[in-house]
Amino acid sequence: MRLVIARCSVDYVGRLTAHLPMAPRLILMKADGSVSIHADDRAFKPLNWMNPPCTVREAPDEDGGGAVWTVTHGKSGERLVLTIEEIWHDSSHELGVDPGLQKDGVEAHLQELLAEHITTLGEGYTLIRREYPTAIGPVDILCRDSDGATVAVEIKRRGEIDGVEQLTRYLELLNRDSTLRPVRGVFAAQEIRPQARVLATDRGISCVTLDYEALRGTESDVMRLF
């Protein structure tokens, strides 16, 4: 990961345009190829970002004497143009492979039960494996549907926007693997917040509401599909 604190402006050029005026900001360039720009007062959400795969080209700013960093998405061609006036900090850190979020007992048991009874997602589903390893952490469940297509399942006790973002990153990575793609996503939770459901639907991710007691075999209606 490269971590830069700089006074910069940011212009997004793509399906729409957006401009962030000159100000101090945190720039994160992660090993997965993503680039995100953060302020100090917006919690965890970046001001703007580019998902992988993308490339970064650094060049002198002929007008201002600083530098211009152009982040280009490898598929869409969309760009983030960072005009750097002054760099206050620039460091790189090797974090290694993250083991992933350690789930609580309910989430871990949901994963175990769903993997054991994978056909509750649909007739003809077959399990590839639990905790499928990737460079950015393990996918909860990787399976195939009745047509043989690959499905990545992310399981939460409470489904929030963060979980959808996490599954989106997994899908982007898995779809680079020619032996797996196309890979679609299923976001499964005991409760899914409306905002998370809207985001998942917009990204083509299916939402599944899980009933923990039903999966344990105490009810016949195992889950409700939306």
Domain with residue 185: its CATH number is 3.40.1350.10
Phi-psi label, residue 79: left if phi above 0, alpha if psi -120 to 50, beta otherwise: beta
Q: How many CA atoms lie within 13 A of 58 on its CB side?
A: 3
Compute the distance between CA of residue 109 and CA of residue 62 in angstroms, rounded to an integer.
58
- Supply the pLDDT for residue 103: 52
Cβ atoms of 175 and 183 closer than 8 Å: yes
Given 30, 57, 92, which residue is the final one in a domain? 92
Range of the domain at 87: 2-92
- Supply the pLDDT for residue 101: 55
- pLDDT string in tens for the chain (226-residue length): 899 999 999 999 987 888 999 999 999 999 888 999 999 886 678 899 888 889 999 999 877 778 999 999 988 899 999 999 999 999 998 887 766 655 555 677 888 888 888 888 888 999 999 999 988 889 999 999 999 999 999 999 889 999 999 999 999 999 999 999 999 999 998 889 999 999 999 999 999 888 777 777 644 444 444 4
Cβ atoms of 152 and 186 closer than 8 Å: yes
Same domain, 117 and 57: no
Q: Order of strands, edge to edge, in the sheet holding 2-13?
A: 48-50, 35-38, 17-29, 2-13, 79-92, 67-73, 54-60
CATH of the domain at 43: 2.70.180.20
Residue 77 dihedral angles phi and psi, to the nearest 5°: 80, 0
Same domain, 121 and 199: yes
- Supply the pLDDT for residue 223: 46
Handedness of CA 212, 218, 224, 225 (dihedral sign): positive
- Supply the pLDDT for residue 43: 65
- Supply the pLDDT for residue 213: 76
- Say if residue 52 is preceded by a cis peptide, omega within 30 of 0: no
User: Is residue 171 in a domain?
Assistant: yes
Tell me which amino acid residue 24 is.
Answer: P
- Supply the pLDDT for residue 220: 40
User: Is residue 99 in a domain?
Assistant: no
- Supply the pLDDT for residue 157: 86
Compute the distance between CA of residue 72 and CA of residue 57 in angstroms, rounded to an integer.
8
Instruction: Give the pair of three-digit tokens for residue 25.
Output: 């900001």
Same domain, 181 and 85: no
Same domain, 195 and 138: yes
Compute the distance between CA of residue 21 and CA of residue 47 in angstroms, rounded to an integer.
12
User: Is residue 110 in a domain?
Assistant: yes
- Supply the pLDDT for residue 163: 92
Compute the distance between CA of residue 84 and CA of residue 78 in angstroms, rounded to an integer.
19
